């Protein structure tokens, strides 16, 4: 498996932090640094609507504010990715 050089990794991190959304940066830190699950979930809150679904541009190709099946699926993928428990408030609101 090929790996990035430390320099390439640093450039990738800088790009995500400078150009990405807060959620992207927190997910990057969760996976590759000392970022916490809670920090990533705090950023995900901004994409959850009052109906419990996700929208607000969570899926970058679907910029609508309202909840959609695609954005809600992405929301659940992120919840699973970071290991959110079934009793977490984001999960409960979306269920």
Which pTM does this prediction carry?
A: 0.92
Q: Give phi and psi for 48, each to the nearest 5.
A: -90, 135
Alpha helices in 1-95 (DSSP H): 6-19, 22-32, 37-44, 69-82, 89-94
Tell me the pLDDT of the chain (95 aa) as tens digits: 889 999 999 999 999 999 999 999 999 999 999 999 999 999 999 999 999 999 999 998 988 999 999 999 999 999 999 999 999 999 999 88
CA pair distance 30, 45, nearest whole angstrom:
16
The whole-number pLDDT of residue 90 equals: 97
The whole-number pLDDT of residue 31 equals: 97
Nearest alpha carbon to residue 44 among 8, 91, 9? 91
Number of neighbouring beta carbons within 10 Å of residue 67? 21
């Amino acid at each position: 498996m090929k790996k990035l050089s430390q320099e390439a990794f640093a450039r990738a991190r800088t790009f995500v932090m400078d150009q990405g959304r807060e959620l992207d940066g927190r997910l990057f830190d969760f996976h590759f640094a000392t970022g916490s699950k809670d920090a990533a979930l705090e950023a995900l809150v901004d994409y959850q609507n009052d109906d419990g679904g996700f929208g607000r541009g969570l899926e970058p190709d679907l910029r609508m504010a309202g909840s959609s099946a695609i954005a809600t699926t992405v929301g659940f993928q992120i919840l699973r990715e970071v290991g959110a428990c079934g009793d977490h408030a984001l999960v409960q609101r979306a269920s």
